[in-house]
Amino acid sequence: MDDLIIAVGSVRKPKLAAVHEAIAALADNFSAGVIEIVAVEIASGVRDTPLSREESMRGARQRAETLQKMAQEEVKPWNYFVGLEGGLDSVMENGEQRVFLESWAYVSDRTRGYFGRSGAVELPVALAEEVFVKGTDLSIAIDRFAGEAGIRDAQGAWGVLSANKITRQEAFRVALIAAFAPFSNSSAYRKSAVAKIG
């Protein structure tokens, strides 16, 4: 069995811990010897706090694509490229704007790429206004909101808003497993049509 090297476009602890957890959960689905995770700090090319689902997705994809270019230029033997991005998404519901925090993952194997997303947690109005309207970075706003420092590298806004029932790491783990699904459960993605019932 060949070894597997997964490159991640971040060195942040919650993101890397999420990758380690997701890969541990998926290890049996890959025919690989040793699985190695390589962390590289990569700029997302989007705002520090993306303000739409599309921007979060673009940030995750751009991290992975930058890793791919780096691997090609430096002849790195990396097999998968992972980009992770957390951001906000706003929807109008019943005449009211609601702002949600989401975590996105993009995984590529050089030829194919897929997205995965966590669930979403709604921001309190005061926090949403601070970030979405006033333009404060979420990492700064959540520290002020919670009266703590360094939340982004700990439980994250996810932890603060869910009373630590869902952490930033857990949200990214879910997004990663979803993004890896076409690779780790490839038989489901090769089916050409859904069988008719009855």
pLDDT tens-digit map of 71-98: 999 999 999 999 999 999 999 999 999 9
3-state helix, strand, coil in the chain (%, to 5): 45, 25, 30
CATH number at residue 31: 3.90.950.10
Tokens standing for residue 145: 């909101």
195, part of any domain? no
pLDDT for 105 beyond 70:
yes
Domain assignment present for residue 164? The answer is yes
- Give me the DSSP letters along 165-181: SS-HHHHHHHHHHHHHH
- Percent pLDDT > 70 in the chain is 96
Those residues whose C-beta lies under 8 Å from the C-beta of residue 135, and which sit 6 or more positions away, are: none
Count of structural domains within the chain:
1
Residue 173 Cα to chain centre, angstroms: 8
pLDDT value at residue 197: 60
Residue 196 lies in a domain: no
Residue-wise pLDDT tens digits, 19-68? 999 999 998 888 778 999 999 999 999 999 999 999 999 999 999 999 99
In this structure, is residue 166 part of a structural domain?
Answer: yes
Query: How many angstroms separate the most distant Cα atoms in the chain?
Result: 59
- C-beta of residue 122 within 8 angstroms of C-beta of residue 144: no
Strand order in the sheet with 80-93: 35-39, 4-8, 80-93, 96-108, 113-122
Say if 197 falls within a structural domain. no
Q: Which of 1-10, 99-108, 124-133 tops mean pLDDT?
A: 99-108
- Structural domain boundaries enclosing 15: 4-190
